A and B are shown apart, each in its own frame.
Chain A
Amino acid sequence: MAGVYIHIPFCTQKCGYCDFYSIIRLKDKSEFIDALVKEIGLRAGEVDEKIKTIYFGGGTPSLLKKEELVIIFNALKEVYDFSFLEEITIEVNPDDITTEYLGDLKEIGFNRLSMGIQSFNDRILTYMNRRHGAEEAKIAVQLAKIAGFTNMSIDLIYGIPKMTDQEWKHTIDTAIELDVIHISAYHLTFEPGTPFYKNLKRNIVSEIDDKESVSQYNTLITKLTSAKFNDYEISNFCKEGFESKHNSNYWTGNSYVGLGPSAHSYTNNRRRWNVSDLKKYITNISQDKVFYETETLTEKDLYNELIMLGLRTSKGVYLNSMNNFSAIFMDEFKQIKQKNIKAKKLIEEQGYLKVRRESKFLTDQIISDFFIV
């Protein structure tokens, strides 16, 4: 069953590290919603109407008011059958959280929150240009729990220049104390186009040493494991049974429809991405012009992606799923598999091939070793 992603491209300020598409002009909100509603209609029938998950990402979806979310929801209901829905997530910013807003979200039908917290240290939050403080974030988490959002994820970032081990440990400990059931913890990457990237290129900041990265990752794993979290994907950790269904859907190669500017879709071996420009998105949709690009994945692309996504998860690559590929792919796969098992980077368990914990931090290397180019 498929997932639906909706991209809300608005923020009130830009975070230094973020390369998701967003703009800080909120004026176009209503025009955007009109265009989005139209797109939802246009895309009807692209996947089976019995969808399993909906995910509002951004940008900052929590900048949308109840009425605006309702309009989008109603449009979705026109097109999709909601009776099979298991997970409806919205990304929220801690300082948008009020008891009232949480009530609205519940009422609309959201059953999962993903809160962008990033750090429980004010200095680091300021450095990243976040618009909330540590205390505010803690309160937001508690309010959400009181409002009944037990299924909640928080985002954290490590590998930040000049962040001490102590500060990182404090952030993890705080997350554990708050008793959230899902944590996405990302190592900072300097993505082209971001303020951080510009500073890197101007030598104003530098990336932290690999050793520090590894040490912070190990701290994360150790602390979360002892707090009974599973590391079900490189950057995702959860209590038993609380995996993100929407995201897991990406990693198992299932279909998804992405709506809104910059959103990606994947259906029938075809990937499509909408234009990353709100103006163009709105204009082209209203004038019935093309507002997206597509590519059809070849067998090689599918093979590479299946390995890339599979090896990032703790479950690994389902070996039987490899049998669908041509013999030359299989031969290559078997050979690289054996090589990496021998090198103690991979392990085969119950029909799955996975990266050993000690090699997790070198996953990209292992993935590209398998790649057929």
Chain B
Amino acid sequence: MKNIRNFCIIAHIDHGKSTLADRLLEYTSTVSERDAQAQVLDDMDIERERGITIKSHAIQMDYELNGEQYVLNLIDTPGHVDFSYEVSRSIAACEGALLIVDSTQGIQAQTISNLYQAIEHDLHIIPVMNKMDLPNAMPEEVEDQIIDLIGCDRDEIVRASGKTGEGVDDILEAIVDKVPAPVGDNKAPLQCLIFDSVFNSFRGIIAYFKVVNGEIHKGDLVKFMATGKEYYADEIGVLRLDMEPRKVLRTGDVGYIISGIKTSKEVKVGDTITQVKGGCDARIEGFEEVKPMVFAGVYPIDSDDYEDLRASMEKLQLNDASLTFEPESSAALGFGFRCGFLGMLHMEIIQERLDREFDMNVITTVPNVPYIVHTKKGEELEVHNPSGLPEPTVVDRIDEPYIHAQIITKSEFIGQVMTLCLNKRGELQKQHYLTSDRVELNYTMPLAEIVFDFYDKLKSISKGYASFDYYSTGFKQAKLIKLDILLNGESVDALSTLIHFDNAYTLGRRMCEKLQELIPRQQFDIAIQAAIGAKIIARETVKAVRKDVTAKCYGGDISRKRKLLEKQKKGKKRMKQVGNVEVPQKAFLAVLKLD
């Protein structure tokens, strides 16, 4: 156990975590050379394309230092706010963390919030300045930020480059020298912390865990304490580039278990595995049920695809337990599902996976947060859909979820950022200068405001410099009303939103303008209206098409015109018929794209 080092990497997106991780694998000969696919840790297509790690993974490396053999377990963490709970469980499985900061960009909000979690779990922090090979690196300034943040000595900071390999040996040595070996009692009853799980179509759900106390043997009858379910440990082992089976895993080891589990719901991140006979009494602290914070309707474009969509969602849920869905129907869109996501990125990922992996053509409606409706009779209802709101007459009050938001920006943008937060109903809690030109702002604000276009706006007003992270702080009462959108006089339920009263008029007008832009002209005029109850607050018209004909079509035109019309037809097929109006997919997300 004294030669095991468990560590994770804390980094902002694009700060080069995956590339540096690849170097560690290379220097420890875990992978011999860069095989075709760069960035070994990110093995989902979407992850590789977006350059971010969505789901965490783990990998074991061997390393020799001063004649001693060490086992290094790198537990990778997802790099997005939507997955902050999973990050916290990965952190809990480690004794040390590499804090990677891009030397050209400095510290970002998300780095800080993950760092705080690591410090809270008493992890030893090894600060690393990455991308030192770039000409625009500003090491002194970034060092100042790091020192200010974690109070380390200047010479403790490793200067590295994932690209050139600079500093990689220093990092490996620091991991061995500075990160404490895991503590725990090999003789105590078994306690394993699950920090991740993956779905394998041949093996079922594979849970990744760290042995906190005791030993686990192949064939043991074990219990997952949160679900209470019992399984035989059909196979256990360690995670190298592939899974390597072992007969036993001891305290401090990181490994996997395969036990014939079919659905991801049975494996909860943060849960404790113990033995059925002579197991432990208490779960490892910190377990939480992950609750979706963003809901949206997902509908098949072609209503015949409903059952296929259900099957696809079920398959997705097999390896993504944080996705929830229940059937719902919409007057405009027919039958579909109300899906719960961890956040906006999660929602986008699911949508993309439906398209890529299942070839499902779907419409996603405007997302919303969960609301708690208190009725006059004193009942409490959780509402996941604006159209599910009870009649205004029976509603006493509505509570909406709030968050604590942490924003780090260059101080020159502070004015614009504060205006944005104010417009988003944010209340400033704390303002703190990290360095002379970087400031950290803390706000409380409604989650619903983040779900709309907050992040894009923040990025654009700060020229991409501001970073942002948040955590939930519970529910608060809000003055919300339902804004409806009508197409040719008929209310389109899928376009309804719950909105703060003060923003309703502006939003209504902008929704109409945006929809006018997005809905293509058809054979008749289309009236687009925004309404609160029976009151119309805005209107736009999409004028009818009266001319749709190609002027000339001779020998040289035929191919081109055919392809043009084929493209039109394809576009039309992707539209949804709402009443007599054909509405493109993107119109259902119009509210998110208001400028």
Please report A residues at the B interface, Cβ cutoff 8 Å: 5, 20, 184, 186-189, 210-211, 213-214, 217, 234-235, 247, 250-251, 256, 258, 262-266, 271, 273, 295, 301, 304-305, 308-309, 312, 360-365, 367-369, 371, 373
Contacts and interface: CB of A to CB of B under 8 A. Distances in A.
Contact of A373 (B546, B552, B566): B566
Nearest to A17: B551
Q: Which 7 A-B pairs have the closest CB atoms?
A: A210-B546, A186-B551, A371-B569, A213-B547, A368-B565, A264-B556, A368-B569
Contacts of A301: 562
Interface in B533-576: 543-556, 558-559, 561-562, 565-566, 568-570, 572-573
20 contacts: A186-B551, A187-B547, A187-B551, A210-B545, A210-B546, A235-B551, A247-B554, A250-B558, A251-B553, A304-B562, A308-B562, A309-B553, A309-B558, A361-B549, A363-B549, A363-B550, A365-B523, A368-B566, A371-B566, A371-B569
A323 B49 CA distance: 47
Given A211-B546, A373-B570, A364 B565 contact: yes
Contacts of A20: 556
A367 B544 CA distance: 18
Interface in B92-151: none
Contact of B555 (A189, A234, A250): A250
A364 B523 CA distance: 13
Most buried by A among B562, B566, B573: B562
A360 B570 CA distance: 22
A361 B551 CA distance: 10
Contacts of B544: 210
- Tell me the interface secondary structure of chain B in the complex: loop
Given A187-B551, A361-B546, A362-B545, 13 more contacts: A184-B552, A234-B550, A250-B554, A250-B555, A258-B556, A266-B558, A273-B559, A301-B562, A308-B562, A362-B523, A362-B547, A362-B549, A363-B549
Contacts of B548: 361-365
Nearest to B545: A210
B462 to A, nearest CB: 31
B547 to A, nearest CB: 4
B572 A368 contact: yes
A217 B568 CA distance: 24
Nearest to A360: B549
Interface in B289-326: none
Contact of B559 (A184, A214, A264, A360): A264
B543 to A, nearest CB: 7
A265 to B, nearest CB: 8
Contact of B573 (A265, A266, A373): A373
Contact of A214 (B547, B565, B566, B568): B547
Contacts of A312: 550, 553
A360 to B, nearest CB: 7
A187 B555 contact: no
Contacts of B553: 234, 250-251, 308-309, 312
Given A264-B556, A362-B523, A304 B566 contact: yes
A39 to B, nearest CB: 16
Interface of B: 523, 543-556, 558-559, 561-562, 565-566, 568-570, 572-573
B199 to A, nearest CB: 34
B545 A365 contact: yes
B570 to A, nearest CB: 5
A258 B558 CA distance: 13
A329 to B, nearest CB: 14
Nearest to A274: B556
A308 B554 CA distance: 12
A365 B570 CA distance: 12
A327 to B, nearest CB: 20
Contacts of B545: 210, 362, 365
Nearest to B572: A368
Most buried by A among B544, B554, B566: B554
A188 B523 CA distance: 21
Contacts of B573: 373
Contacts of A367: 565
A183 B203 CA distance: 73
Contacts of B546: 210-211, 213-214, 361-362
A219 B550 CA distance: 18
A263 B555 CA distance: 8
Contact of B556 (A189, A273, A304, A363): A273
A364 B558 CA distance: 13
A292 to B, nearest CB: 13
A153 B390 CA distance: 70
Given A367-B565, A373-B570, A373-B573, A5 B551 contact: no
B558 A188 contact: no
A363 B573 CA distance: 18
A364 B549 contact: yes
B365 to A, nearest CB: 26
Contacts of A373: 566, 569-570, 573
Contacts of B559: 264, 271, 273, 295
A146 to B, nearest CB: 29
Nearest to A367: B565
A317 to B, nearest CB: 14
B555 to A, nearest CB: 5
A5 B573 CA distance: 37
Nearest to A188: B551
Contact of A189 (B543, B551, B565): B551
Contacts of B554: 247, 250
Contacts of A371: 565-566, 569
Given A367-B565, A368-B569, A373-B570, A305 B547 contact: no
Nearest to A189: B551
A235 B572 contact: no
Most buried by A among B546, B547, B550: B547
Contacts of A262: 556
B558 A264 contact: yes
Contacts of A362: 523, 545-549
A308 B561 contact: yes
Contacts of A210: 543-547
Contacts of A360: 549
B460 to A, nearest CB: 24
A5 B558 CA distance: 14
A304 B555 CA distance: 15
A262 B554 CA distance: 13
Nearest to A362: B548
B549 A234 contact: yes
Nearest to A364: B548
A273 B558 CA distance: 11
Contacts of B556: 20, 258, 262-264, 273
A361 B566 contact: no
Contacts of B572: 368
A361 B550 CA distance: 9
Contact of A258 (B549, B555, B569): B555
B81 to A, nearest CB: 40
A184 B559 CA distance: 21
Contacts of A5: 555
Nearest to B521: A210
B202 to A, nearest CB: 37
B565 A308 contact: yes
A367 B572 CA distance: 13
A165 to B, nearest CB: 16
Contacts of A256: 555
A365 B520 CA distance: 13
A235 to B, nearest CB: 6
Nearest to B546: A210
Contacts of B568: 364, 368
A196 to B, nearest CB: 13
Most buried by A among B523, B555, B566: B555
B198 to A, nearest CB: 37
A161 B562 CA distance: 27
A365 B548 CA distance: 6
